[in-house]
Amino acid sequence: MLVTEQESRSAAIVAAAQQMLAAARTAPKGKGRDTLSMAAAYDGTLAAIADKLDEMGKKLALPFFFRDAKNIRQSQAAVLIGTTIEPLGLQYCGFCGMGNCENKNKQFEAPCAINTVDLGIAIGSAVSVAARLCVDTRVMFSAGKAAAELGLLGSEVKIAFAIPISCSSKNPYFDR
């Protein structure tokens, strides 16, 4: 039996996405509370994200959304990582700018700083795995915003990022 690199590429992408999700899940969390949601997107879901990016680019008149939609279409997968914005109930923090979690609760749409820091740490863990596996990635807030607006990580997720993954001869995210 002979399996060419081209034939094994899909399995390599799936394995990379799964390992990236595992790394993000096991990343340290503030107060040990997990507010993250994550998933891997393929095929039709990638197309839906790209279509949403095009729609947002038209609506908002932001040309880079079209560029990012093109990059999503060039990808074989994307890891989606998002967080809720509910506070952790800390007595003393104030990193959100509200002084404490009780005051933050009065401004429901304001994000909890600890949750967003946890999100950043999880993203860093995921992309470090991708680098180790030699697959090309790029962290995209635009595609994460599109995924959140599509509800791909659940309605409670308000902040999300996408990490498209490519395994090709040329990194599609480099010369943009």
All domains in the chain, ordered by first residue: 5-166 (3.40.109.10)
* pLDDT for residue 17: 98
For residue range 30-70, what is the model confidence (pLDDT) as tens digits? 888 899 999 999 999 999 999 999 999 999 999 999 999 99
Does the model's pTM come out above 0.75? yes
Question: How many residues are there in the chain?
Answer: 176
Average pLDDT, the chain: 94
C-alpha span between 38 and 119 (Å, rounded): 10
- What are the tens digits of pLDDT across the range 114-147? 999 999 999 999 999 999 999 999 999 999 999 9
Neighbours of 102 (CB within 10 A): 12
